[in-house]
Structure 1
C-alpha cells in the first residue's frame, strides 16, 4: 500500500493494535488524547464501540491543529465484549476479573470492535463482530490466568492470544484479529479507499 504523502495516526495506546498495524506494514505514529469511555444509555450495543472510537479520533484531531487537513488519516478503535445484552468492560480488580471469566466460561459471547477513520472532513466508521465460544473453565484455571496475566486492561478480562485463549477457546466465528482489538484486514481495505479518494 502506497502511503507516501500521508501521515497516519493511530489514536490508541493499545500494544495489540500497534502490533497489528505493524504486521500489516502500515507506517504510523501513535497520538492519544484521554477521553471518557462513556456512551448514551439507550445506544444500540453495536454502536457503542463506534461512538467511543469516534470520541477518541476527534479528541486527537481537535488537540492537534496540523491534523485537520486531508494529508492526515486518524485511525481510532474501541473493543467491547458482549454477553447476552450486557456490555462487559475492563475489570477493575481481581474479583471482577474472576467473575467475568466465570460468566464467559462455557458460553458464547461477542467481541465488537468499532473503528473510525478520519481524513479531513471525511469519516469512515464501522463495527466488526466476532463470536467466541469458551470451553467450560475450572475456577483453578480462571484464578491461574488472572493471577499470572493480570488482564485488568482488557475488555472481557482476557486476551485471545494469551494462555486462556490457547486452552479455553472452543471456536470463533469471524475475524480472529478483531478479538485482539482491530479487524486489521478491514481497516487496511478502508484505508486504501481513503488514500485514493
Structure 2
C-alpha cells in the first residue's frame, strides 16, 4: 500500500485495534457516530455488513485525501433473534441465561472501503455455551460489566474461558475481527 493511502480503522474497539496491530499493518483510528440500525428483511449475515459499510462511509466522508478504511460490526444471533449490546445489567443477565446450554452464531461484518467503493463480507462462527449457573452469570456481569459487547459477553474474558464448551469457526471472529479473512481480502485486493 502506498504512503499516499493511509489505512484507517473505523472502530474504537480496543480488541479490533489489537487484532489489526497483530497483522503488522500501520494504521490510525478514526470513528464517526453511526447509527447501528438496519432495514427489515436483511439476513443475519447481511446485518453486520450493512452496519460496517455505514461506519466505513461515515469515516470516509471525513477524509480530505484517499484512504483505505476498515470497519466492522459483530452481532450475536440465537434462533434468528439478534442479541445486541445489553442496555443494562439485567438485560445482560437475561441474554446470558438465553445462551446457556445452547449454540448461537457470532457474525462479524467487515467493510474495506477505498476508491469510493465498499467491499463487504461476513464471517460466521458457531459458539456453544455450557449450562451457566446464576452464580456464574452474576459474577461475570458484576465483575466485567459486558454492556459494550454484543450478546453480553467477550469470549476472551472469564465467561468465555469457563463457560464456552466449543466453537466451530474463527475464534478471532468472535473476539470482533476475523483476522484471517481480513488478510485474505486485503491480499486479494492488493491492499497489503
TM-score, normalising length from structure 2? 0.96
1:114 correspondence with 2:109? yes
> Is 1:57 aligned to residue 63 of structure 2?
no
Gaps of 5+ in 2: none
The alignment status of 1:167 with 2:166, answered yes or no, reads: no
* Cα deviation, residue 152, structure 1: 0.5
Shift of 1:188: 1.2
1:28 has 2:22 as partner: no
The C-alpha deviation readout for 1:60-112, integer Å capped at 9, x for no partner, is: 1112232xx3xx21000000000001000000101000000000000000000
Determine if the alignment matches structure 1 residue 195 to structure 2 residue 190: yes
Which residue of 1 is the match for residue 144 of structure 2? 149
Matched, 1:84 2:83: no
Q: How many residues align?
A: 191
Which 4+ stretches in 1 moved above 6 angstroms? none
2:53–2:118 Cα contact (<8 Å) kept: no
Q: Please say if residues 119 and 194 of structure 1, whose CA atoms lie closer than 8 Å, have aligned partners that are also in contact.
A: no
Q: What pairs with 1:135-146 in structure 2 (closer than 5 Å)?
A: 135-146=130-141
Partner Cα distance (2:6, 2:112) in 1 = 13
Give the 3-state SS of the residue equivalent to 2:189 in structure 1: helix
Are the aligned partners of 1:9 and 1:28 in contact in 2 as well (CA < 8 Å)? yes
In the superposition, the TM-score normalised over structure 1's length comes to 0.93
Q: Name stretches of at least 5 consecutive residues in structure 1 with no aligned partner.
A: none
